[in-house]
């Protein structure tokens, strides 16, 4: 890897940029540096003009070297140069940064799309939202207004120092000896500044998470009369966040002002050293005046460098967060998937959400195509986890899950999910019409196909009461529908998708007995000739299963036909007896 490639890679990692973003960043720094140099052209113009005008005064025998037309043309040329460079600088330092910000958001969304669902179980929704929105916005603003300008200002100042040093090294040293000292103060404060920035970032997230939690649990908060407690906790977190922010900004402000105060000593140094050199005849009056003029202006861009440097320190937490997300392992696999049938085989599967806390241990069973396999057991026994592992919502710790003889861990998750219809207990709906919520099951479905699936799921009963029927907007997450109605929309989605494998996770839990019985007809249509995994606590829901797999503490405790397990008088028989449905099983299997 050559030096240029290494530099680009370093910039890309340091600032959480794409490969193109790193190149655009370098262009932005270069063009901003050129613009800073170009903005010195008016001072060059004044210097040349005054030098020419003062020549006859200092040397009466001398004449003006150039006429008025020359300076008019020179001024116009300088203005054109500044204008052209300013256009290119704007495109490289602003337009390119905004393009990079858009690419960053898309990249984050793509990253989240490919992450295993275990990641989302560990993260708060507000945390992910803040990363995509707030952090990206902070990076966009700072990179467009501070970071390229920081590096460009450093480069420009170095060019100025080089030029002035060759003009007069004594006055140049007198002017810039304060810069290393002021810079050292900034970097000495960096460690504490970074710590305060991290703490502010965490407390700000804590406020966002508390607000998100309140919105998600508003019914529970109100039903338990906990509004006052919730508001009190929220106010405490907001107050603490303000305290941390005030402390951080105060410290940063003090250190920045101290460094800027040190810079002011440079002006005094130029006056004193220049006066001494002028007295001894080492320099002329004109040179002395030029350095005083430069000293009066040169510290402003240096102060801006320090401000931008502090902004960069502020970004470190967000940049590290972006790099952390970029480094997260994604689920990958082949898109070429041709299973030999749709039997699902669990072969010695172990799984855990957290290290050292197993959820499934040595689980082995087969769910055959054309049969209904029911996973039953106490709450927390691993039923839902096992079903979702089959669709590769997570990856197993050890063992294998085979679909049609193929290891699902080698198949791209999006390819794999094309073969699954899933009905969850917790239904998620979108702020769209009933018809469009059902059409999510198959985007190219016609209206007639959507309505046919809706009728099988008994959606007509409530849809026809809506103002616009199936075209009625149902609000965020279907807030205008009851739990049972939302579940029926979810079942209609699965019916419409018509995939060869069906996962039913407490699919009828939100339904009353009458509606559950009616919807069983639609579910019977859904599962015909398919591989079906059913998860249920109510035994009547799995009464027609061909095979029962009983999970207990993450392991397979019993497995077999319902009548066989009932005769064995084990865990399943006890569950059936407690729910008093033994006769249902006997009747359904005659």
Place of tokens 């903005």: 39
| Nearest-angstrom CA–CA distance, 374 and 542 | 6
Please tell me the predicted confidence (pLDDT) of residue 121: 63
DSSP 426: S
SS3 533: strand
Q: Which residues fall within 8 angstroms of residue 210, CB to CB, at 6 or more apart? A: 233, 234, 237
Please tell me the predicted confidence (pLDDT) of residue 360: 92
| Nearest-angstrom CA–CA distance, 121 and 519 | 31
Please tell me the predicted confidence (pLDDT) of residue 57: 58
DSSP 61-95: T---SS-HHHHHHHHHHHHHHHHHHHHHHHIIIII
Six-digit token string for 122? 């560990």
pLDDT in tens, the chain (590 residues): 577 788 888 887 777 787 888 888 888 888 888 888 888 788 778 777 777 776 665 555 555 567 778 888 988 999 999 999 989 888 887 888 888 888 888 888 888 888 877 677 666 666 777 777 777 787 777 777 777 777 877 887 888 888 888 888 888 898 888 888 988 888 888 888 888 888 888 888 888 888 888 887 888 888 888 889 999 999 999 999 999 989 888 988 888 889 888 888 888 898 998 888 888 888 877 788 878 878 887 787 788 788 878 877 877 888 888 877 777 778 888 888 888 889 999 999 999 887 788 899 999 999 999 888 999 988 888 888 898 899 888 889 899 999 998 999 899 988 898 999 888 877 888 889 999 999 999 888 999 999 998 988 888 888 988 889 999 999 887 888 887 888 889 888 988 998 999 888 876 665 666 666 666 766 777 677 889 898 877 777 777 788 999 998 889 999 998 888 888 888 888 888 877 654 555 455 54
Please tell me the predicted confidence (pLDDT) of residue 345: 94
Please tell me the predicted confidence (pLDDT) of residue 299: 82
The phi, psi pair for 366, rounded to 5°, reads -130, 130
Please tell me the predicted confidence (pLDDT) of residue 582: 47
Please tell me the predicted confidence (pLDDT) of residue 190: 85
For residue 152, what are the CA distances in angstroms to 10, 301, 313? 18, 10, 17
HSE value, Cβ hemisphere, 13 Å, CA-based, for 490: 27
Domains, the chain, with CATH or none: 3-327 (1.20.1560.10)
| Nearest-angstrom CA–CA distance, 149 and 170 | 29
Six-digit token string for 256? 């920045």
Sequence length of the chain is 590
Please tell me the predicted confidence (pLDDT) of residue 586: 46
DSSP 411: B
Q: Residue by residue, what is the 3-state secondary structure of 139-197?
A: HHHHHHHCHHHHHHHHHHHHHHHHHHHHHCHHHHHHHHCHHHHHHHHHHHCHHHHHHHH
């Amino acid at each position: 890897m050559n030096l240029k490639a290494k530099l680009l890679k370093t910039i890309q990692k340091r600032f959480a940029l794409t490969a193109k973003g790193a190149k655009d960043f370098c262009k932005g720094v270069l063009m901003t540096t050129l613009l800073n140099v170009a903005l010195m052209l008016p001072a060059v113009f004044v210097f040349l003009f005054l030098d020419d005008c003062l020549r006859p005064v200092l040397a009466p025998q001398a004449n003006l070297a150039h006429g008025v037309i020359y300076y008019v043309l020179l001024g116009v040329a300088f203005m054109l140069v500044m204008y052209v460079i300013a256009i290119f600088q704007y495109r490289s330092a602003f337009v390119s940064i905004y393009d990079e910000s858009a690419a960053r958001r898309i990249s984050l969304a793509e990253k989240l799309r490919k992450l295993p669902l275990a990641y989302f179980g560990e993260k708060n929704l507000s945390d992910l939202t803040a990363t995509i929105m707030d952090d990206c916005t902070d990076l966009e603003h700072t990179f467009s207004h501070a970071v390229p300008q920081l590096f460009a200002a450093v480069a420009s100042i170095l060019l100025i120092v080089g030029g002035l040093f060759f003009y007069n090294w004594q006055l140049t040293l007198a002017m810039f000896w304060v810069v290393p000292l002021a810079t050292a103060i900034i970097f000495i404060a960096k460690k504490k500044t970074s710590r305060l920035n991290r703490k502010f970032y965490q407390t700000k997230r804590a406020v966002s998470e508390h607000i998100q939690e309140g919105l998600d649990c508003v019914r529970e908060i109100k039903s338990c009369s906990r509004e006052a407690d919730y508001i009190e906790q929220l106010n405490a977190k907001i107050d603490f966040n303000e305290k941390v922010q005030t402390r951080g900004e105060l410290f940063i402000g003090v250190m920045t002002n101290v460094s800027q105060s040190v810079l002011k000593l440079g002006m005094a140094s130029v006056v004193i050293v220049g006066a001494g050199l002028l007295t001894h005849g080492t320099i002329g009056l004109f040179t002395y005046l030029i350095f005083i003029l430069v000293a009066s202006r040169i510290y402003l861009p240096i102060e801006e460098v320090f401000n931008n440097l502090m902004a960069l320190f502020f970004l470190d937490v967000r940049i590290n967060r972006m790099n952390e997300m970029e480094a997260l392992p994604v689920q990958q696999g082949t898109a070429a998937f041709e299973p030999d049938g749709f039997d699902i085989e669990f072969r010695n599967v172990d799984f855990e959400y957290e290290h050292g806390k197993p959820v499934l241990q040595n689980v082995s069973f087969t769910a055959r195509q054309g049969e209904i396999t029911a996973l039953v057991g106490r709450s927390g026994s691993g039923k839902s986890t096992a079903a979702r592992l089959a669709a590769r919502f997570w990856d197993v710790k050890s063992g294998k899950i085979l679909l049609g003889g193929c290891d699902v861990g080698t198949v791209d998750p999006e390819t794999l999910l094309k073969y699954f219809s899933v009905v969850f207990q917790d239904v998620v709906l979108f702020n769209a019409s009933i018809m469009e919520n059902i059409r999510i099951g198959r985007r190219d479905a016609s209206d007639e196909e959507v309505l046919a699936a809706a009728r099988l799921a008994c959606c007509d009963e409530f849809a026809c009461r809506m103002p616009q029927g199936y075209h009625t907007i149902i609000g965020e997450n279907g807030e205008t529908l009851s739990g049972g109605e939302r579940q029926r929309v979810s079942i209609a989605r699965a019916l419409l998708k018509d995939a060869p494998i069906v996962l039913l996770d407490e699919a009828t839990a939100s339904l009353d007995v009458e509606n559950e019985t009616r919807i069983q007809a639609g579910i019977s249509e859904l599962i015909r000739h398919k591989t079906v995994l059913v998860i249920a606590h109510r035994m009547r829901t799995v009464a027609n299963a061909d095979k029962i797999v009983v999970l207990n503490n993450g392991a397979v405790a019993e497995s077999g036909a319902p009548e066989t397990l009932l005769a064995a008088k084990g865990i399943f028989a006890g569950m059936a007896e407690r729910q008093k449905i033994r006769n249902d099983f006997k009747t359904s299997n005659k």
